[in-house]
Structure 1
């Protein structure tokens, strides 16, 4: 479905993406994690055909840079930063629905479900809405179409707690028939939705972990972490998870992790990729 083949991107002399090699299959739901500046947004922009780059990007065999209209017809996209559109909300919804040949009411229904009082803002320019209102509307536009690929860059950043809850319910409803690439700092919020986590750091993939979907919400995992040398910061982080060390040097750790927290744990460990030589999670038989 999605393929990145040795994708690199630089701005002036700064290397933002460095030889990204990544494939995402149909039905996979990928959490794209990493600190600010790791390359997440640039990778998404390359996927959407917005940037020139070295290497190859394909969506269903199509080049998003050369066949942008056809590729964008396959994608529902929620950007990190809302575009500065002056178009009235009602006109924006009608325009967006026409582009993907869907009914505007589908987008309106999702916006209402997210808590947006649509009737009161239809005549207002999009750029005059609050940050949360813009985000709800952009989510409604992305999910109100029959897109097989959903790409979301920090989609819940400006949502209130209730709207975030509904948003993830909406994604769960699409989990069986769409490929999802979700960039988020809140890994614990998407952990129940995704079946794979990809960590970027300094433009490289430093973690690519498929998650066993047969781990139940009440299941437990045994975790084992080995570091190349003692690292006080890693030791402190593992201690917060109630891990215990197995050697005097403090380089091998074991502990138990609730199944739903597996991605949050992997996200924490990935921050110490420079010193960690091994990490494994094994389901505990009931």
Structure 2
């Protein structure tokens, strides 16, 4: 359904995407992961037809640069950064619903499930909403319509814990027959939703892990490891994964989400010389 063929993109002579080729078929639920600057948002912008790039992007054979309206009509999109729109919330919903021929009440219903009081904010300019309110409204617009492609760039970043839970429950109801591409820094949150993990690093695909649907994707694997010596960079990486040092600081314990196991091992491979033992159960 979605094809990236030898995609490269540079900004001020710096390669942000470097010869990326990927194929996303119907039923693929993809977690797009990587550090800041890895190229995740740029790849999404190329899919949406916002950027000119080298190579080819196709959605069922259609070039999103040549037919943006046709491609975007099929995509429910949640951006990482809300646009600075000054129009009232009610007008934004009505406009969004008219573009994709849906009932604006459907979008409002999703937003209200996430905790928005539409009667209170309906006449407020979108730009005046809080970060969390903007995100809930954008999610409502994306999920309150018919689409066979869902593209979300850090969609839960500004949501409170209860809204996050509701959002992921709503998302799980929309998975059948769709292609989902979600960038996230927290793979543990989306582990139960995805069946494929793609990691970008410096504009290249360094991991493409397909997780079998027959395996429980929400399962956590206990991990213990022993280091030869302490290293600040490795300690920071392990801490970011939620690991905790014990004893002399050379022993670490933590858990790794099933779909994230290869990404974790890929990270650990960079410090292979420091590892005395590693076990995943």
- TM-score band w.r.t. shorter chain: 0.7 to 0.9
Is 1:72 aligned to residue 72 of structure 2? Answer: yes
TM-aligned CA distance change 1:273 to 1:70, over 3 Å: farther
Indicate the residue corresponding to 1:88 in structure 2. 88
In the TM superposition, residue 270 of structure 1 has moved relative to its aligned partner by 3.2
Instruction: Give every structure 1 segment of 4 or more consecutive aligned residues whose post-TM-superposition deviation is greater than 2 Å.
Output: 216-223, 229-242, 255-258, 263-276
In the TM superposition, residue 212 of structure 1 has moved relative to its aligned partner by 1.6
In the TM superposition, residue 275 of structure 1 has moved relative to its aligned partner by 5.7
**CA separation in 1, counterparts of 2:242 and 2:127?**
46
Following superposition of structure 1 onto structure 2, how do residues 183-194 of structure 1 map, counting pairs within 5 Å? 183-194=183-194
In the TM superposition, residue 213 of structure 1 has moved relative to its aligned partner by 1.6
**CA separation in 2, counterparts of 1:85 and 1:256?**
43
Indicate the residue corresponding to 1:11 in structure 2. 11
TM-aligned CA distance change 1:196 to 1:84, over 3 Å: same
**CA separation in 1, counterparts of 2:218 and 2:66?**
47
**CA separation in 1, counterparts of 2:17 and 2:77?**
21
**CA separation in 1, counterparts of 2:242 and 2:102?**
51
Alignment check: 8 A CA contact 1:206 1:273 kept: no
The alignment partner of 1:136 has SS state of helix
In the TM superposition, residue 37 of structure 1 has moved relative to its aligned partner by 0.4
The alignment partner of 1:57 has SS state of strand
How big is each residue's C-alpha offset from its partner over 1:107-145, in whole Å with a ceiling of 9 and x where there is no partner?
010000000011111111100100000000000000111
Indicate the residue corresponding to 2:209 in structure 1. 209
Provide the TM-score with structure 2 as the length reference.
Answer: 0.85
Indicate the residue corresponding to 1:262 in structure 2. 258
How big is each residue's C-alpha offset from its partner over 1:145-190, in whole Å with a ceiling of 9 and x where there is no partner?
1110000000000000010001000110011121100000011000
In the TM superposition, residue 271 of structure 1 has moved relative to its aligned partner by 2.9
**CA separation in 2, counterparts of 1:35 and 1:187?**
12
**CA separation in 2, counterparts of 1:112 and 1:159?**
14
The alignment partner of 2:180 has SS state of strand
The alignment partner of 1:213 has SS state of coil
Structure 2: gaps (5+ residues):
246-252, 273-279
Following superposition of structure 1 onto structure 2, how do residues 1-286 of structure 1 map, counting pairs within 5 Å? 1-216=1-216, 237=238, 240=243, 261-272=257-268, 274=270
Alignment check: 8 A CA contact 1:47 1:64 kept: yes
The alignment partner of 1:271 has SS state of helix
TM-aligned CA distance change 1:220 to 1:239, over 3 Å: closer
Q: How many residues are matched? A: 264
**CA separation in 2, counterparts of 1:192 and 1:241?**
24
In the TM superposition, residue 82 of structure 1 has moved relative to its aligned partner by 0.2
In the TM superposition, residue 272 of structure 1 has moved relative to its aligned partner by 4.3
Provide the TM-score with structure 1 as the length reference.
Answer: 0.83
**CA separation in 2, counterparts of 1:144 and 1:220?**
32
In the TM superposition, residue 265 of structure 1 has moved relative to its aligned partner by 3.5
RMSD of aligned alpha carbons: 3.0
